[in-house]
Amino acid sequence: NIYKGNTPFTIENEKLVKIACLFFLLELILQKVTSLLYSFIAKINLAIDLNIKDIIVVLIGISIIYIFKYGRMIQTDTKAKIYD
């Protein structure tokens, strides 16, 4: 509801989505680095693969961040037009 100020497009929600996306990306990177270190220490040739699903999830997270930024921009513009 615009008049009450209830909107999901806030800076706080945008930051939370960004943090979740960064944690997922960090988990992906750490998983690959750990696998690489384990294969180096154990002298076992492990195949390090990059799953396309993981890349798509990160890209969706990044697009949600931009959706929240754009929604916040539209929300502030709409409030200016309604209250002015």
Q: What confidence score (pLDDT) does residue 29 get?
A: 86
Helices within 1-84 (DSSP H only): 11-42, 52-83
- Contact, 84 vs 54, CB < 8 A? no
Q: What confidence score (pLDDT) does residue 5 get?
A: 62
Q: What confidence score (pLDDT) does residue 71 get?
A: 85
Q: What confidence score (pLDDT) does residue 36 get?
A: 80
Q: What confidence score (pLDDT) does residue 7 get?
A: 74
pLDDT tens string, the chain, 84 residues long: the values are 556 667 777 788 888 888 988 998 898 888 888 878 877 787 777 666 667 888 888 889 889 889 888 888 887 777 665 555
